[in-house]
Amino acid sequence: MSWQDTGSAVFTLAEGFLALSLGPLRTSPAVRVVTPAALAALAALLVDVYLY
Protein backbone atom coordinates (compact mmCIF):
# COMPACT_ATOMS: atom_id res chain seq x y z
CA MET A 1 0.00 0.00 0.00
CA SER A 2 1.43 3.36 -1.02
CA TRP A 3 0.90 6.89 0.21
CA GLN A 4 -1.15 7.55 -2.91
CA ASP A 5 -3.52 4.69 -2.05
CA THR A 6 -3.88 5.97 1.50
CA GLY A 7 -4.47 9.51 0.27
CA SER A 8 -7.22 8.32 -2.04
CA ALA A 9 -8.94 6.53 0.82
CA VAL A 10 -8.68 9.55 3.15
CA PHE A 11 -10.00 11.88 0.46
CA THR A 12 -12.88 9.51 -0.26
CA LEU A 13 -13.70 9.33 3.46
CA ALA A 14 -13.80 13.12 3.76
CA GLU A 15 -15.78 13.59 0.55
CA GLY A 16 -18.24 10.86 1.45
CA PHE A 17 -18.76 12.23 4.93
CA LEU A 18 -19.41 15.73 3.62
CA ALA A 19 -21.74 14.55 0.87
CA LEU A 20 -23.77 12.41 3.24
CA SER A 21 -23.86 14.89 6.12
CA LEU A 22 -24.96 17.74 3.88
CA GLY A 23 -27.35 15.60 1.89
CA PRO A 24 -29.58 12.67 2.71
CA LEU A 25 -28.28 11.95 6.24
CA ARG A 26 -28.11 15.52 7.56
CA THR A 27 -30.45 14.82 10.47
CA SER A 28 -28.88 11.48 11.39
CA PRO A 29 -26.35 10.89 14.17
CA ALA A 30 -22.68 10.96 13.20
CA VAL A 31 -22.30 7.17 13.49
CA ARG A 32 -24.88 6.67 10.74
CA VAL A 33 -22.94 9.07 8.50
CA VAL A 34 -19.44 7.77 9.20
CA THR A 35 -20.29 4.11 8.59
CA PRO A 36 -21.18 4.37 4.87
CA ALA A 37 -18.41 6.91 4.32
CA ALA A 38 -15.88 4.51 5.87
CA LEU A 39 -17.16 1.65 3.72
CA ALA A 40 -16.73 3.81 0.62
CA ALA A 41 -13.19 4.69 1.72
CA LEU A 42 -12.38 1.02 2.26
CA ALA A 43 -13.73 0.20 -1.20
CA ALA A 44 -11.62 2.98 -2.72
CA LEU A 45 -8.53 1.67 -0.94
CA LEU A 46 -9.09 -1.88 -2.12
CA VAL A 47 -9.68 -0.75 -5.70
CA ASP A 48 -6.52 1.35 -5.61
CA VAL A 49 -4.40 -1.44 -4.18
CA TYR A 50 -5.65 -4.32 -6.28
CA LEU A 51 -6.67 -2.78 -9.59
CA TYR A 52 -4.12 0.00 -10.17
Query: ∠ at Cα 45 (17, 35), nearest 5°?
Result: 35
What burial letters (b/e) apply to 18-46, b meaning 16+ CB within 10 Å?
eebbeeebeeeeeeebbeebeebbeebbe
pTM for the predicted model, two decimal places: 0.88
Domain that holds residue 7: 3-51
Q: How confident is the model at residue 1 (pLDDT cuts 50, 70, 90)?
A: confident
What is the number of domains present in the chain? 1
List pLDDT tens digits, range 5-48.
999 999 999 999 999 999 999 999 999 999 999 999 999 999 99
Q: What is the pLDDT of residue 52?
A: 80
List pLDDT tens digits, range 17-27.
999 999 999 99
